[in-house]
């Protein structure tokens, strides 16, 4: 066997589909795992290198290193082996190509996107260094994009660090002192002197990568010798401008690329925190120019991966960042019009958030369900169906939401009596707690939801209470430093004569969630009203609307929200009887989209949610159906203009009193 495989050829259990990249050492192919029906990448060593002990050991080491790592930003290994004398690796398929190619084609990334990508690479290095591995070849070509760019731009940045073939472990002994491994443009000064690679040299490489993502070129240029000398002697390049974000970026570059390792960030985790701090904080009224919209909206991923305003990023429109993105050799350039002016809160720099439903952090949406009062079960998506259920018998949860900004959904348990509410949150770092207090005289708490109302990339929390004949929405805001604001009353309204629900949805694609009240009425309609957070309260948008229910439906049975068509704007889905109807909101009112389906025909729809189970940037509709013998969860996968049932994503549950889908909205209606 050789690296010259062709479409349709079998490599063990893998069918080759197409070549992705071909180099001197081998080739990478997109393939299909015939056992599981999922897309994979197959990396094959060239035939003449298969007999080289050195290159065979590199392949073996890469497989061993990948198998030890657990990070949503490290490419996942599925298999490795040898056929006809040539080793091969089978890994997760990243369909978007690599960061280096993107920057070469399109030029600099928007600053928020560049910082987010670098933070994700740092996150991958946190996992790498924690098991005693130094990557030694961090560069844009080894950063893969989970999904293809849209019009040349990263709509929802989620990246994977790959190519651990030259990684060094504490015990490998495979590199001798004085040898140099890596790529000159990203090589730390001490490595140019022949010293051993350390986590600090990986930190340096991330700084170089960030510079290239921001400017379109590496920090130093010239021959290999000239570049090596520049790393040793020349100052760390800085970006022109004195606005807060530019100054923050320059501090991050100067520290991560310090000539002496002891002057750099002490760890990849510290670098990650430094970069995240640039993306957090209160939103202002400006915006960093972003990619062009295709439908009049700011493009971004689904509700759980929106384009959001980030930190000081919002104050630089008239400052240095706009200027320096046009400087240099002219590669790429900023796609935004030169006359862009500050906009209202919610316009954005790109900051990735968790994929809809993604609890495991692998970029695929999962399903979380309660099977009794203190028992949560997670069904993880494999991209071709649901994997083995993860039972968490001692975890009680009410909601999901990304409260810490790590791009995986956290389990949130809302509990308490009347005005005093505890929010216990299970994140990747363990349990934490926040508190909500309703207005004085609160008689009961009737619901809760998570939503990123202020657009800082962290989900905020709110509860709904009744007091004095009125309904109150009280919320707390998540802060980038991990703390929470004091409780504040966001909204007061009359409950009306029927029941209502509050949904979080980014209806205009600006990166912050609007709040939608979904209310049953006596006139066989569903009443919808929208509010937007103005910094202190929820301000109404328009007068609301009444949407007729399908013929024969008595009332709506469930509702949810998500970006089913992948256009960067959420739809609200109303389920009434056996009909699911997606509605699009604009200033002109609500319109019915073509995304309709007949569901629940063999039982009663007991709940609905969204989860991008196949990772295609379109939220899929999840339906919980109550049957005589128990419950069933079905995924109605979105094709962009329709939703279709997929039996590969179907699970059954026993009949227990509290089975329900967990999502950003508490399942209980209130009256």
Give the residue numbers annotated as catalytic, written as ranges: 137
- Please, are residues 407 and 361 in contact by the beta-carbon 8 Å criterion? yes
Contacts of 119 (CB under 8 A, 6+ apart): 272, 275, 276, 279
Going from the C-alpha of 135 to that of each of 73, 213, 546, the distances in angstroms are 14, 19, 57
Q: How far apart are CA 136 and CA 64, in angstroms?
A: 16
Q: How far apart are CA 432 and CA 424, in angstroms?
A: 6
> In angstroms, how far apart are the furthest CA atoms of the chain?
81
Q: How far apart are CA 622 and CA 612, in angstroms?
A: 9
User: Which residues, listed in sequence order, are joined to residue 526 by a DSSP beta bridge?
Assistant: 520, 547
Going from the C-alpha of 233 to that of each of 194, 200, 610, the distances in angstroms are 16, 18, 53
- Please, are residues 646 and 352 in contact by the beta-carbon 8 Å criterion? no
Burial per residue of 454-469, b for 16 or more beta-carbon CB atoms within 10 angstroms, e otherwise: bbbbbbbbbbbbbbee
Q: How far apart are CA 177 and CA 175, in angstroms?
A: 7
User: Which residues, listed in sequence order, are joined to residue 44 by a DSSP beta bridge?
Assistant: 27, 88
Burial degree of 555 (CB within 10 A; 0-12, 13-18, 19+):
middle
Going from the C-alpha of 20 to that of each of 10, 26, 99, 570, the distances in angstroms are 16, 11, 14, 33
CA angle 170, 175, 178 (to 5 degrees): 120
Q: How far apart are CA 251 and CA 421, in angstroms?
A: 40
Question: CB neighbours (10 Å) of residue 169?
Answer: 16
- Please, are residues 16 and 8 in contact by the beta-carbon 8 Å criterion? yes
Q: How far apart are CA 232 and CA 220, in angstroms?
A: 11
């Amino acid at each position: 066997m050789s690296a010259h495989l062709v479409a349709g050829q079998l490599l063990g259990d893998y069918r080759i589909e197409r070549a992705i990249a071909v180099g001197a050492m081998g080739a990478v192919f997109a393939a299909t795992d015939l056992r599981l029906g999922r897309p994979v990448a197959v990396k094959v060593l060239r035939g003449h290198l298969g007999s080289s002990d050195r290159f065979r050991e590199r392949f073996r080491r890469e497989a061993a290193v990948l198998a030890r790592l657990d990070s949503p930003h490290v490419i996942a290994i599925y298999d490795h082996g040898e056929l006809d004398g040539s080793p091969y690796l089978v890994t997760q398929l990243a369909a978007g190509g690599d960061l280096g190619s993107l920057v070469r084609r399109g030029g600099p990334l928007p600053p928020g996107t560049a910082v987010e990508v670098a933070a994700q690479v740092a996150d991958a290095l946190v996992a790498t260094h924690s098991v005693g591995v130094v990557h030694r070849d961090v560069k844009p070509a080894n950063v893969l994009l989970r999904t293809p760019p849209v019009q040349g731009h990263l709509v929802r940045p989620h990246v994977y660090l790959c190519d651990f073939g030259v990684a060094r472990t504490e015990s490998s002994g495979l590199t001798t002192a004085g040898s140099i491994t890596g790529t000159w443009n990203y090589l730390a000064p001490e490595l140019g002197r022949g010293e051993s690679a350390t986590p600090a040299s990986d930190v340096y490489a991330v700084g170089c990568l960030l510079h290239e993502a921001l400017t379109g070129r590496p920090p130093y240029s010239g021959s290999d010798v000239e570049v090596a000398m520049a790393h040793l002697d020349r100052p760390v390049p800085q970006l022109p401008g004195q606005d807060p974000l530019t100054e923050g970026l320059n501090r991050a570059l100067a520290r991560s690329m310090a000539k002496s390792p002891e002057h750099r960030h002490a760890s990849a985790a510290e670098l990650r925190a430094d970069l995240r701090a640039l993306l957090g904080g209160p939103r202002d009224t400006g915006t960093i120019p972003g990619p062009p919209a295709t439908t009049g909206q700011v493009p971004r991923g689904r509700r759980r991966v929106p384009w959001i305003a980030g930190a000081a990023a919002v104050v630089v429109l008239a400052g240095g960042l706009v200027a320096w993105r046009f400087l240099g050799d002219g590669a790429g350039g900023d796609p935004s019009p030169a006359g862009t002016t500050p906009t209202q809160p919610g316009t954005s720099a790109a900051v990735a958030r968790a994929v809809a439903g993604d609890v495991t952090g692998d970029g695929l949406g999962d399903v979380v369900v309660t099977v009794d009062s203190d028992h949560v079960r997670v069904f993880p998506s494999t991209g071709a169906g649901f994997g083995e259920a993860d039972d968490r018998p001692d975890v009680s949860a009410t909601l999901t939401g990304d409260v810490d900004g790590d791009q995986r959904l956290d389990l949130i348990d809302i509990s308490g009596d009347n005005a005093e509410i505890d929010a216990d949150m299970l994140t990747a770092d363990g349990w934490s707690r926040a508190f909500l207090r309703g207005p004085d005289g609160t008689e009961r708490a009737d619901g809760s939801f998570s939503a990123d109302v202020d657009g800082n990339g962290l989900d905020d929390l709110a509860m709904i209470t009744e007091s004095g004949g009125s309904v109150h929405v009280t919320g707390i805001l998540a802060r980038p430093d991990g703390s929470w604001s004091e409780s504040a009353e966001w909204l007061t309204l009359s409950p009306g004569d029927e029941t209502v629900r509050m949904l979080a949805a980014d209806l205009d694609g600006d990166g912050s969630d609007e709040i939608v009240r979904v209310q049953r009425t006596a006139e066989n309609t569903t009443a919808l009203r929208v509010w937007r957070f103005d910094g202190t309260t929820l301000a109404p948008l328009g007068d609301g609307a009444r949407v007729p229910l399908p013929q024969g439906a008595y009332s709506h049975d469930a509702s949810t929200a998500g970006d089913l068509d992948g256009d960067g704007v959420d739809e609200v889905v109303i389920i009434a009887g056996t009909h699911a109807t997606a509605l699009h909101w604009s200033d002109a009112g609500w319109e019915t989209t073509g995304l309709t389906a007949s569901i629940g025909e063999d039982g009663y729809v007991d709940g609905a949610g969204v989860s991008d189970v196949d990772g295609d940037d379109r939220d899929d509709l999840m339906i919980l159906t109550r049957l005589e013998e128990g419950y069933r969860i079905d995924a109605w996968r979105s094709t962009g203009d329709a939703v279709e049932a997929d039996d590969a994503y179907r699970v059954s549950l026993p009949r227990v009193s509290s089975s329900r889908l967990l999502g950003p909205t508490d399942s209980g209606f209130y009256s």
